[in-house]
Amino acid sequence: MDRVFIEGLEVDTVIGAYDWERGIRQCLRVDLSLGWDNRPAAAGDDLNLALDYAAVTARVQAFGQEAEFILVETFAERLAQTLLSEFQIPWLRLKLTKPGAVAAASGVGVEIERGCR
């Protein structure tokens, strides 16, 4: 299976367990690997058969604007479900980083895989 990737996508959202976090927007960093068969698009140089990474990017950013979760785990799981169903992606790997959450680290977060390769 081929993979389409989007790396370092910045998404503003409401995320966190502390009271002070509930009233602000924070930036999360999203890295995606999306399973997709690129052969049909490449064979005919047909954009309509390619996975539209601009549309995926826009959907991820819209998801972040709408979301208000306590856990990055919940954000990651719900985003994965959304992308799998809306874009008919058979498999994805999603890495979600919350920069600055731990002072001694550049970021913390989760990485999940969903779907079938």
Active-site residues, by number, are 98
99, amino acid identity: P
Q: What DSSP character marks residue 5?
A: E
In angstroms, the CA 39 to CA 48 distance is 12
**53-66 and 72-87 are packed helices; what angle lies between their axes, rounded to 10 degrees?**
140
Greatest Cα pair distance, the chain, in angstroms, is 53
Q: Please, are residues 26 and 96 in contact by the beta-carbon 8 Å criterion?
A: no
Percent helix, percent strand, percent coil in the chain, to nearest 5: 35, 40, 25
